[in-house]
Structure 1
Amino acid sequence: MAQKPRIGVYICHCGTNIAATVDVKQVAEFAATLPGVVVARDYLYMCSDPGQGLIQRDIEEQELTRVVVASCSPRMHEPTFRGAGRQGGLNPYLVEMANIREQCSWVHSDRGQATEKAKWLVASVVAKSALLKPLEEREVDVTPGAVVVGGGIAGMTAALDVADAGFPVYLVEQSGRLGGRMADLNRTFPTLESVAKLMGPLIERVQTHSNITVLLNSQVTGVEGFVGNFEVTVSGEIPNLQVGAIIIATGYDIFDPHRKPELGYGQYPNVITSLEMEQRLAAKDLTGSGKAIKSVAFIQCVGSRDAQVGNEYCSRVCCMYTAKQSLQVKELLPDADVTVFYIDVRTFGKGAEEFYDEARATGVRYRRGNISEVIRHNGRVALIGEDTLLGRPFDFEADLVVLAVGMESRADAGDLSNLLKLARSSDGFFMELHPKLRPVDTAVDGVFLAGCCQGPKDIIDTVAQAKAAASSALIPLLRGVVPVISETA
């Protein structure tokens, strides 16, 4: 006959985080009446050394076979309390937590109702703990290698770092070339370096690296397994890939300005996007026809910070690439009138503010205003809007209008999200596990994020995140084993 569980329940005050809203002593008294509970206590900080010592002593003295700690999120201190259980001689998987901080005290103001809810949270976890079975950890070998999804600057950077560490990498790119969006650019900011000169050697390194297999015109169609042992299915006649880690670097989509018809894109040939401007600057022909240009206007935040199109976020690069393009216009046409219509100027990062100042010093004018419409007028285009500093309407004529289009999550991000069970934020980008502490991890162990698939960023931050993702992916690969939990016989 199975022995009845002997359960110890420990209610944490968490200073005043819990105790200010929940009557922890009343919850402890309630817990003592629950079936199987032989001891119930409350303590100021259960995660402290004395708090853990209390658990360890009770396991020995009260012969506890289960422990329930009612405190903060298991994500924060589950390893702490399982460690305390192990130190006391209890299988750590017989230690369970009830979250009465994030799920109770922090989201309620009524003390009586919060206390009642805490009681039922504790009661449910106590009932669950009675059914727990001891589990054991074991180690399994890691399959050496990684799949990197996306062949842009983020994907190539991550692939090279993993490959340079001595592991095979499969770089899966759905288009017919490497380089991603960056390959469509002319120069970088704030250094004005040639993109072609930067990308050429990088692409060559990837294509000739002995540890990298480049799979062009390919897509990931299936993923099975777990950290250290993934099986990835790729479209075409490619055998399934066995790897230990996956890095997602699928990039972004450019906002389609046809969704803002009032700005005249597609209606007037002299209204173009910033990406089209890159091509014209590379060709040193701003009109595409050789005609003279006297006035160029840039409209900022097209598709960003705009609730009407569903993108309330800042794309983080538009202010800087507009400063870059305006400098290039002044370099080509020193006498041209260049005006930037902006909501707010956001220049961050090393050398960014100085770069913006340089653009203004060359004669680029910045005018704070909202553009409501772009119309045809006397063979030119006229911008109709409001000066938001003066609170006055205005119209402004230009020979060329450049729409500073922002970034969006890829239209096919949902497909990959479903395959890998990856969470996405409200703006559609893949969601990191923690924005500050684990910015490249996902909720799926062994799957990491790099670049603009996680959110808008410039090349500098993209490369930094790609290197971080590669470093994180290398942890299980270098260890060679990963722990797994198996139920005891």
Structure 2
Amino acid sequence: MSKTGVLIIGGGIAGIQAALDVADQGVKAYLVERTPSVGGHMAMLDKTFPTLDCSACILTPKMVDVGRHPKVELLTYSEVREAKSNESGFEVKILKKPRYIDVSRCTGCGVCARYCPIEVVDDFNAGIGFRKAIYVPFPQAVPLKYTIDENHCIKCELCKRVCESIGAEAVNLDQEPEEVSLNVGAIIVATGYKPFDAQRKKAYGYGKYPNVLTALELERLLSAAGPTAGHILRRSDGSIPKRIAFVQCVGSRDLHHGYPYCSRVCCMYAIKDSILLKEHVQGVDVTIFYMDVRTYGKGFEELYQRAEKEFGVHFKRGRVARIYETPENHNLIVRAEDTETGEILEEEFDMVVLSVGLAPPDEITELSKILDVPLDEYGYIKEADIKTDIISTKVQGIFVAGTALSPKDVPDSVSEASAAAMKAVTFLRRRK
């Protein structure tokens, strides 16, 4: 399999946009995604800031477009294993992991999952709720093909017998990994991010106290398609919380237990989620403990003002030192210093949401070695020039977009993806 085109690594919103822009210019785009579906973290979000538009309503049409575009080849559930430069560009080897499903026969009907006896923790719902060992990550997945989780499958073959009974015969438990070789002229890295591991901040009790959540977990609770159908419920007793606190800069601007940089999106997603909570839970009281409110983008300051004045969200400037639980009712005590008055505060809440920062994904270290692209001091792909050429890398023909470069929001990720697509296509045409 040897063709010329552009390889895009990562199927989140940046990778999808880059693939569409490359393909729209008549160049073949190969979109590699390590999970069974494209969509990335944006697919997990309920709304986007600052407009509070439905995240899925923006993302899903692009996912469908990239899945149907004649110039885009999707390589989902696949990973780049080798890349060597040559006279025409790069020779790349990609490992397609076995789904144990014949995608040409799978109709996405879901009968197999209905009868599967094994339930595992649902990663797409941020660990809240369960999915079956044979699954699609979410209902709008592209491609809408099932995958068997080999780490949890017990080989009972019930899914195979059920699939055969309806005439699809898509289950193939003998499927093997497949190596795909490509010759491409340029590469775009759009591997996204991972959320900061909140368990590293032991003083905040995440993983110990059931009512301490991360913001991504709250997003899944807010979503009507989430594990609670949009109802905000406490993990400890299933009750509706009436007092909720947000703790900012968890893992960001932290020299001891996190990263020294600002993750850029945390203030805005906390403001967005606080408004959504006000709309979901009647009479809920929301307090945001912050170091500095950074609302730098178009429409951001206006949303901040709306949250405070129109929705009555409380903003308290102070770094939270500790969160501890009252065992009798699983409520949470937040201990913090009000840095405007010097007062030490101890306030009780029903739920605490940790606004975790953005970190480089785990796989980016290995990928940088494969591509021979250097990383910066924080673990992100290093740009060619931080002032004049942030889309190019130190390696000619390899470009970067989105949060593989640094923390940023959806609009900036999409803009960089389009810029990377233009750079890659221009590079190809100049080489020809």
* Residue equivalent to 1:69: none
How far apart are the structure 2 equivalents of 1:370 and 1:411? 28
Give the AA of the match of 1:247: I
Gaps of 5+ in 2: 97-177, 224-228
Shift of 1:370: 1.1
For the residues of structure 2 that align with 1:196 and 1:334, how far apart are their CA atoms? 25
Task: Give yes or no for the alignment of 1:452 onto 2:394.
Answer: no
Q: For 1:418-462, what per-residue CA distance to the aligned partner results, in whole angstroms no more than 9, with x for missing partners?
A: 111111111111111111210100110000001001000000100
Q: Where does residue 16 of structure 1 map in the other structure?
A: none
The amino acid of 1:230's aligned partner reads F
The offset of 1:334, in angstroms, is: 4.0
Question: Could you tell me which of 286, 289, 303 is aligned with 2:232?
Answer: 286
- 2:104 maps to none
The TM-score, its normalising length taken from structure 1, stands at 0.68
The alignment's C-alpha RMSD in Å is: 1.3
Write the distance in 2 (CA, Å) between the matches of 1:200 and 1:460.
Answer: 16
Cα separation, partners in 2 of 1:228 and 1:317, compared to 1, 3 Å: farther
Match of 2:376, as an amino acid?
S
Aligned to 2:308: 360
- 1:196 pairs with 2:56: yes
In structure 2, the residue corresponding to 1:463 is in which secondary structure? helix
SS in 1 for 2:390: coil
Q: Which residue of 1 aligns with 2:247?
A: 299
2:60 and 2:362 map into 1 onto residues whose CA distance is 28
The yes-or-no answer on 1:149 pairing with 2:9 is yes
Question: More displaced, 183-192 or 235-244?
Answer: 235-244
Distance 1:149 1:350, change over 3 A: same
Aligned to 2:69: 209
- Give the structure 1 partner of residue 379 of structure 2: 428
* Per-residue deviation, 1:363: 0.2
1:338 is the counterpart of 2:289: no
- Structure 2 residue aligned with 1:18: none
Amino acid at match of 2:47: R
Deviations 1:111-144 (A, max 9, x none): xxxxxxxxxxxxxxxxxxxxxxxxxxxxxxxx74
Which of residues 264, 268, 274 in structure 1 aligns to 2:215? 274
Aligned equivalents of 1:366, 1:156: Cα separation in 2: 36
Q: Which residue of 1 aligns with 2:188?
A: 247
Q: Deviations over 1:135-163 (max 9, x none)?
A: xxxxxxxx741000000000000000001
1:181 alignment partner AA: H
Larger radius of gyration: 1
Distance across 1 between alignment mates of 2:378 and 2:207: 26
> Shift in Å at residue 310 of structure 1?
4.0
The residue identity in structure 2 corresponding to 1:223 is A
- Partner of 1:308, secondary structure, is coil
Given candidates 312, 320, 323, the residue that maps to 1:374 is 323
Instruction: Identify the match of residue 365 of structure 2 among 395, 400, 414.
Output: 414
Name the CA distance, whole Å, in 2 between partners of 1:186 and 1:480. 43
Structure 1 residue 265 corresponds to structure 2 residue 210 = no
| Pairs aligned (count) | 339
Whether 1:349 and 2:300 are equivalent positions in the alignment is no
Instruction: Indicate conservation of the 8 Å contact 2:232/2:280, yes or no.
Output: no
State the secondary structure of the residue aligned to 1:247. strand
CA distance in 2, matches of 1:310, 1:277: 21
Deviation string 1:90-127 (CA, Å, 9 cap, x unpaired) is xxxxxxxxxxxxxxxxxxxxxxxxxxxxxxxxxxxxxx
Matched residue type, 1:268: Y
Shift of 1:222: 0.7
Q: Does the CA-based 8 Å contact 1:227-1:245 persist in structure 2?
A: no
Counterpart-to-counterpart distance in 2, 1:251 and 1:228: 28
Q: Does 1:385 align with 2:336?
A: yes
Conserved? CA contact 1:424–1:431, under 8 Å? yes
Q: Identity of paired residues, percent?
A: 43
Letter in 2 for 1:342: Y
The structure whose RCO (Cα within 8 Å, separation 6+) is larger is 2
TM, length-normalised to structure 2: 0.76
Inter-partner Cα distance in structure 1 for 2:277 and 2:212: 16
Change beyond 3 A, Cα 1:206–1:170: same
Cα distance in 2, alignment partners of residues 354 and 442 from structure 1: 35
Per-residue CA deviations over 1:27-82 (Å, capped at 9, x if unaligned) read xxxxxxxxxxxxxxxxxxxxxxxxxxxxxxxxxxxxxxxxxxxxxxxxxxxxxxxx
2:272 maps to 1:324: yes
**Richer in helix (by share):** 1
Query: How is 1:28-43 mapped onto 2 (pairs within 5 angstroms)?
Result: none
Matches within 5 A, 1:125-164: 144-164=4-24
1:270–1:287 Cα contact (<8 Å) kept: no
Q: Is the contact made by 1:300 and 1:341 (CA closer than 8 Å) also made in structure 2?
A: yes
Report how far residue 306 of structure 1 moved.
0.5
5+ long unaligned stretches in structure 1: 1-142, 482-489
Q: CA distance change for structure 1 residues 148 and 434 in 2, over 3 Å: closer, same or farther?
A: same
Q: 2: distance between equivalents of 1:281 and 1:216?
A: 28
- Runs (4+) of structure 1 exceeding 6 A deviation are none
